[in-house]
């Protein structure tokens, strides 16, 4: 190994078109500009088939991106896994599905909770529709949907399209003796879908809405969306919670003993609500008179922590990760990020594995994220993350260090252009501190990203330019900074899974035969 290596993941920083919607280009980023003008670099595919998703129309996300970065291989992921399981029938043949249905056939209701869109990042409406039709085929008479509005992985104000599509299916399934309906909902950044225990209040708000039927009542989900938009001006992800009512009472609350499916397939924003349903010793908020339901996730969101206990689709078993290879070689590792992306440089990086591969060789540090809207504090914790990373570099204890700056992704999702530009500039200042330390202490530094976001903050549809809050399909940079060695990148078309093989080759190690090619 010529030098120890630092890998910096600039979350959500892709290669945009350089126009007015490209916050990366609009920001003053002298460090990143210098790296791109003076260092060996290329651009990596970070979406679609390159990260195991069904097609190249599917945007990448932080989970599959870090899986690919950390394992050097491409696995079938999320939407693709679920789609295959539905298509070949293994989902409906699973014991978990049979148990849910059998329970509902005793007179209980079956509930479907999740993100209503076709963004293919957390969920897909086609999966929900397949589950509803499967329930009807099995004879389940009462099925209710608790919908979380997206506007983040899809256009910002597209909720009515998905509600209309779902309502048409529910009407078709609600023949005499069957009641299939939307029961509750709200914006994904207001209720239910918190992650990494950053804001349990969001989860509690979802619980009050879906389980206890508390909240403002409307005759339909469409009426709720239209009313809230007129009153608040909010985009879909920020719309308040609502309860659909008939004759002054909620259409359906999730009752003790019912069957409940969380149809999201992505794990980070599914774990907390899963714990609320699944754990008898749950103590994050008062669940009232709740005694339990028959609950299942679409996938198991954390296998080591057994979240949830029951699930419909078996996850990929990711083996031969970079961390495993480095630990086998006795190389010490360090990982740091703030709460919002800490799981990405640990759990997802290590192939959906909680904990460490080798306690004696690995050290992880989590910087607590602030519980404030990201546009109000766009620098996030980049300064604190940098301070910890720099100290670890100065210690010279580690052969491989990695960090994640969440700025481009988390602030990018707000759609607030000025805040995103500020976030990019704050991150760029931190990158210079990493470079200064690398020069002083003798490190090679690699820069990349897990997907794009801040690079495409607007989109044009039907001649109208609107705010874009979703990830982009743009490639992401891969840059090698090393003032002492002249690394050469080979010509070729590469994706995120080519990063780990490149790291291993730089270290003089042999990559597993199942890995993608090195870029050097």
Q: Is the pLDDT of residue 347 over 80?
A: yes
How do residues 278-328 score in pLDDT, each as one tens digit? 999 999 999 999 999 999 999 988 765 789 999 999 767 799 999 999 999
Q: What is the separation, in whole angstroms, between the first and last Cα of the chain?
A: 14
Q: Sorting pLDDT into bands at 50, 70 and 90, what band is 492?
A: very high
Residue 362's DSSP bridge partners are: 333
- The Cα–Cα gap between 159 and 115 comes to 10
CATH topology of domain 5-77+317-506: Alkaline Phosphatase, subunit A (3.40.720)
Domain 79-313 homologous superfamily, CATH: BPG-independent phosphoglycerate mutase, domain B (3.40.1450.10)
Q: Enumerate the CATH 3.40.720.10 domain ranges in the chain, comma separated.
A: 5-77+317-506
Q: Is 62 a catalytic residue?
A: yes
Mean pLDDT of the chain: 96
The reported pLDDT for the residue numbered 46 is 98
Asked if pLDDT for residue 16 goes beyond 80, the answer is yes
Selected catalytic residue, list 37, 55, 62, 85: 62
Dump the DSSP string for 225-246.
HHHHHHHH---GGGPPPEEEEE
Structure tokens at 1: 């190994």
- Give the C-alpha separation, 291 to 271, whole Å: 19
Judge whether residue 440 has pLDDT over 80.
yes
Domain with CATH 3.40.1450.10 in the chain: 79-313
pLDDT tens track for 65-113: 999 999 999 998 888 889 989 999 999 999 999 999 999 999 999 999 9
What's the CA gap between 427 and 408, in Å, rounded?
9
Phi–psi pair at 465, nearest 5 degrees: -90, 130
Residue in 482, 338, 366 with CA at minimum distance from that of residue 6: 482
What confidence tens digit (pLDDT) does each residue in 398-423 have? 999 999 999 999 999 999 999 999 99
CB 476 within 8 A of CB 15: yes
Phi and psi at residue 108, to the nearest 5°: -80, 165
| Residue in the structure block whose two tokens are 């740091």 | 336
- 3-class DSSP assignment, residue 449: coil
Q: Is the pLDDT of residue 2 over 90?
A: no
pLDDT at 198: 87
- Mean pLDDT across the stretch 382-389? 98
The model's pTM is: 0.77
* Interstrand relation of 5-10 and 464-467 (parallel, antiparallel or unpaired): unpaired
Rg for the chain, CA atoms, rounded: 23
CA–CA gap between residue 213 and residue 207 (Å, rounded): 9
The predicted pLDDT at position 303 comes to 66
| pLDDT above 60 (res 189) | yes
Percentage of the chain modeled with pLDDT above 90: 90
| 3-class DSSP assignment, residue 111 | strand
302 pairs with which residues across the strands? 307
């Amino acid at each position: 190994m010529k030098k120890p290596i630092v890998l910096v993941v600039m979350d959500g920083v892709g290669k945009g078109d350089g126009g007015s919607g490209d916050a990366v280009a609009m920001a003053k980023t002298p460090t990143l500009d210098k790296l791109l003008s003076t260092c060996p670099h290329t651009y990596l595919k970070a979406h679609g088939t390159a990260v195991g998703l069904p097609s190249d129309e599917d945007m990448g996300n932080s989970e599959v991106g870090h899986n690919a970065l950390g394992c050097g291989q491409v696995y079938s992921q999320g939407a693709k896994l679920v789609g295959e399981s539905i298509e070949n029938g293994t989902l409906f043949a699973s014991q978990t599905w049979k148990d849910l249905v059998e329970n509902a056939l005793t007179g209980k209701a079956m509930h479907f909770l999740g993100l209503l869109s076709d963004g293919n990042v957390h969920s897909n409406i086609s999966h929900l529709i397949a589950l509803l039709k499967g329930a009807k085929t099995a004879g389940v008479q009462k099925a209710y949907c608790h919908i979380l509005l997206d506007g983040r992985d899809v256009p910002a104000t597209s909720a009515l399209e998905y509600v209309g599509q779902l309502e048409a299916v529910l009407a078709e399934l609600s023949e005499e003796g069957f009641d299939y309906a939307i029961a509750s909902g709200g914006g994904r950044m207001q209720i239910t879908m918190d992650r990494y225990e950053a804001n349990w209040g969001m989860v509690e708000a979802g619980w009050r809405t879906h389980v206890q039927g508390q909240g403002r009542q409307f005759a339909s989900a469409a009426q709720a969306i239209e009313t809230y938009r007129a009153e608040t001006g909010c985009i879909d992800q920020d719309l308040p919670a609502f309860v659909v009512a008939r004759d002054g009472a909620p259409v359906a609350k999730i009752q003790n003993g019912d069957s409940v499916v969380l149809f999201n397939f992505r794990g980070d924003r599914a774990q907390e609500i899963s714990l609320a349903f699944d754990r008898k010793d749950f103590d994050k908020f008062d669940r009232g008179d709740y005694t339990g339901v028959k609950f299942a996730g679409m996938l198991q969101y954390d296998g080591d922590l057994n979240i949830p206990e029951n699930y419909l689709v078996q996850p990929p078993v990711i083996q031969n990760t970079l961390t495993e290879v480095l630990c086998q070689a006795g190389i010490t590792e360090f990982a740091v990020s703030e709460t919002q992306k800490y799981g990405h440089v640990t759990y997802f990086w290590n192939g959906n594995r909680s904990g460490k591969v080798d306690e004696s060789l690995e050290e992880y540090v989590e910087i607590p994220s602030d519980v404030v809207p990201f546009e109000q504090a766009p620098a996030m914790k980049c300064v604190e993350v940098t301070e910890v990373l720099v100290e670890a570099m100065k210690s010279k204890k580690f052969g491989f260090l990695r960090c994640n700056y969440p700025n481009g992704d988390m602030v990018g999702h707000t759609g607030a252009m000025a805040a995103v530009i500020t976030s990019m500039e704050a991150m760029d200042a931190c990158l210079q501190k990493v470079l200064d330390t690398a020069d002083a202490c003798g490190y090679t530094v690699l820069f990349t990203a897990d997907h794009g976001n801040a690079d495409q903050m607007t989109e044009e549809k039907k001649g109208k330019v609107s705010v874009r809050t979703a990830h982009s399909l743009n490639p992401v940079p891969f840059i090698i900074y090393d003032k002492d060695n002249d690394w050469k990148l080979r010509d070729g078309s590469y994706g995120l899974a080519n990063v780990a093989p490149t790291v291993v080759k730089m270290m003089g190690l042999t990559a597993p035969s199942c890995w993608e090619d090195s870029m050097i």
